[in-house]
């Protein structure tokens, strides 16, 4: 009985070590952090679009028409307001990523040029 407990403990320890190596080797922890930061960034940009950009669009397009951009063909409605909001969010995130990546690449390149 004691031998089985020792074998189980050894297998558990080996599994834990293998799992830890997997997480480190494939940068799973970094990926998870990136996913969380990405979701938080998306939420922030969504708030900016809904809180700032949508009211600006409402100034240009009077009334609630900007929020109700619906094309009706027969019995089918095509709602464009969420698509426009998602497109604005996408563009803002894309620009932010572009600026961030350019700065990171520039920062990595500078020390190599100084040598």
pTM (two decimals): 0.54
Asked whether residue 45 carries a pLDDT value surpassing 90, the answer given is no
Domain count, the chain: 1
Give burial (CB, 10 Å; 0-12/13-18/19+) of 46: middle
For residue 14, the enclosing domain spans 2-114
What CATH number did the domain enclosing 71 receive? 1.10.1200.120
**Is the separation of the CB atoms in 92 and 52 below 8 Å?**
no
Q: Which residues contact 95 (CB under 8 A, 6 or more apart)?
A: none
User: pLDDT tens, 70-111?
Assistant: 888 999 988 888 888 888 888 888 888 888 889 888 887 876
């Amino acid at each position: 009985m004691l031998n089985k407990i020792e074998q189980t403990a050894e297998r558990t320890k080996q599994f834990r070590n293998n799992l830890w190596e997997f997480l480190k080797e494939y940068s799973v922890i970094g990926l998870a952090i990136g996913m969380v930061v990405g979701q938080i960034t998306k939420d922030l940009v969504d708030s900016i679009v809904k809180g700032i950009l949508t009211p600006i669009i409402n100034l240009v397009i009077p009334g609630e028409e900007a929020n109700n951009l619906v094309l009706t063909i027969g019995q089918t409605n095509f709602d464009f307001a969420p698509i426009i909001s998602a497109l604005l969010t996408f563009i803002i995130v894309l620009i932010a990523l572009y600026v961030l990546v350019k700065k990171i690449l520039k920062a990595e390149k500078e020390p190599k040029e100084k040598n």
